[in-house]
Structure 1
Amino acid sequence: MPPAEPDLQALVARIHDELAPRFGAGKVADYIPPLAHVDPRKFAIAVVTPEGETFAAGDADEPFSIQSVSKVFTLTLALGRLGDRVWDRVGREPSGDPFNSIVQLEHEQGRPRNPFINAGAITVADMVLAGHTPREAIGEILRFVRFLADDEDIAIDQAVARAEHETGDRNFALAHFMHGFGRLTNPVAHVLGVYFHHCAIAMTARQLARAGLFLAAGGRDPLTGARVVAPARARRLNALMLTCGHYDGSGEFAFKVGLPGKSGVGGGILAVAPGRAAIAVWSPGLNAVGNSLLGSEALELLAARAGWSIFGG
């Protein structure tokens, strides 16, 4: 007989309660002022299944800045527009370096190692921008995220977007460096305008898990029936999330959690249990490599107790 499906509501509630004494652990991303002021004791977990059931605990209805989790959605858009030509401009290998490192870029003549480090996501923003004004590209990204989450209330936090611009010296350096190698086709200011705004999208854990559900269902939204991407592309997006989704902490996340996932410095993580569920967690305190400390632990507990690791038992 197959193993019994877990009681997911009881499971997420138990994980919330077990981690509660440590709420506030880790260090918030204080280099972006609006993120520095987020209550570090916030914690949310939400699980959405292909049957449309949602199981949540904690602050699952409070919006937070998804930051680099948005890179999954912009990459999906770019692949829809350009197909495999995306890979002419950005690689698919783990970086092994911090998310905002310039060292690798110089060695590899301005071609980013993967689409989830900052340089790679800036290149993807350049692809999405092609043929559009920044305002049009930002609008397209926001409409796509609303479509995936089936929720028109999702918005960009303009205060975060402004702060990203004001504190984005390293991202400007990365973009100018790539532009100097001829790797960007649009003006740096326009590309970074798109990049900063999609990183400033605010979502709740419920909305984020819902938006990622297509990756747990072979590229199709199981609740609306809409085909988002082909099954092969969904598999490849999940593979990239597993190998590159947590920067130089990706190997550790795969080792401990065993699920594709994408983190953001706002403390959010989107994870995928293929065929089972999409999961979003949020805890603002980060670990040493910039991933949510308690969010990662929550996913480790969930994957182990539900038996969802892609590597088995």
Structure 2
Amino acid sequence: MNLDLDALVGDIAAEMSEREERGAVASYIPQLAHVDPRRFGIAVMLADGTTHVGGDADEAFSIQSISKVFTLTLALGKVGDALWRRVGREPSGNPFNSIVQLEAEKGIPRNPFINAGAIVVTDTLLGGHAPKEAIGEILRFVRHVADDDTIFIDKAVARSETATGHRNVALANYMHAFGNLEHAPELTLGVYFHQCAIAMSCRQLAAAGRFLALDGRHPTAGGRVVSSERARRINALMLTCGHYDGSGDFAFRVGLPAKSGVGGGILAIVPGKASIAVWSPGLNRVGNSMLGALALERLARATGWSVFAP
């Protein structure tokens, strides 16, 4: 198929910029409430590094829960399959910050991409480290896979989350009561809030996700970030759990492994072909980027990149 990706990406960016219904920004995190909902960016990075961008693709934004892809990768490298004794691998069917399932399932989060599961993953990374060291390890890893040392943590966002993240405090304390946090909740949460405050542009985020499109291989440094099997498993979790209780609908409409964040970003993977990042700050009713999902749906349809395509 002869496809002009530059033209397609440009058309998608133009279409999204004209849409009036854009969703609502995540105002419960005060620092995110100030983000302009008219922003839209998209970056498509092919396996060979060729990049096609549109809109605000070079403006940094708070990646929020997309960071969970990178901390999961780190945790699996640190403790391997032992992680699955502390967190499950099933879709939640509930909002990302729900406490309901934790009571029924005795403090074991349903998957590593809901907040409770990501807090357990972060607790794993804290093992043997002071919080500042764990934060540094996470940031270094993201910079490594993106091959970009300019990626940073937005300290204003981290402070905003720390001041208002009361539900996450409740989740952490609840799991601690069940013995599923090994560190004091305030220490684990300090790392968690900072990882969510990592700021990246669409171009940087697409670069950071490319190892998952390349079967676990680092695209520029050589060698492996993760094994081929682990890369496939991370992609599988992104497909089934990456959009919280909207994961099924996203798989139905887009058909790509992807992880969203309440900052309005989505990282999507086309195995063997591309890494895609989109950003539009307005969220739909389940906390995923409204226009980001629409853009990915259009892109997947035009390219035939759905993993379910023949």
User: TM (normalized to structure 1)?
Assistant: 0.98
The answer on 1:97 being equivalent to 2:101 is no
Q: What does residue 311 of structure 1 align with?
A: 308
Distance 1:59 1:120 in 2: 31
Q: What does residue 291 of structure 1 align with?
A: 288
**Matched residue SS, 2:6:** helix
The answer on 1:161 being equivalent to 2:158 is yes
The answer on 1:280 being equivalent to 2:277 is yes
Identify which range, 221-230 or 171-180, moves more after superposition.
Answer: 221-230
Q: How many residues align?
A: 310
**Matched residue SS, 1:224:** coil
Q: What does residue 109 of structure 1 align with?
A: 106
The answer on 1:6 being equivalent to 2:3 is yes
Distance 2:154 2:87 in 1: 28
Does the CA contact (< 8 Å) of 1:47 and 1:56 recur in 2? yes
**Matched residue SS, 1:93:** coil
Residues 196 and 24 (structure 1), Cα distance of their counterparts in 2 relative to 1, 3 Å cut? farther
Deviation at 1:222, TM superposition (A): 2.7
Q: What does residue 149 of structure 2 align with?
A: 152
Distance 2:147 2:196 in 1: 19
Superposed, 1:182-197 pairs within 5 Å as: 182-197=179-194
Superposed, 1:79-94 pairs within 5 Å as: 79-94=76-91
RMSD after superposition? 0.8
The answer on 1:130 being equivalent to 2:163 is no
Deviation at 1:224, TM superposition (A): 2.8
Does the CA contact (< 8 Å) of 1:50 and 1:223 recur in 2? no
Q: Residue type of the partner of 2:110? A: R
Q: What does residue 35 of structure 1 align with?
A: 32
The answer on 1:300 being equivalent to 2:297 is yes
Does the CA contact (< 8 Å) of 1:69 and 1:269 recur in 2? yes
Deviation at 1:247, TM superposition (A): 0.1
Does the CA contact (< 8 Å) of 2:147 and 2:220 recur in 1? no
Superposed, 1:254-269 pairs within 5 Å as: 254-269=251-266
Distance 2:2 2:145 in 1: 26
Does the CA contact (< 8 Å) of 1:24 and 1:42 recur in 2? no
Distance 1:178 1:147 in 2: 31
Distance 1:24 1:77 in 2: 37
State the Cα deviation string for residues 46-82 of structure 1 (Å, max 9, x = none): 0111111110000011000000000000000000001
State the Cα deviation string for residues 162-210 of structure 1 (Å, max 9, x = none): 0101001000000000000000000111000000000000000000000
Residues 129 and 23 (structure 1), Cα distance of their counterparts in 2 relative to 1, 3 Å cut? farther
Percent sequence identity over matched residues?
A: 68
Q: Residue type of the partner of 2:292? A: G
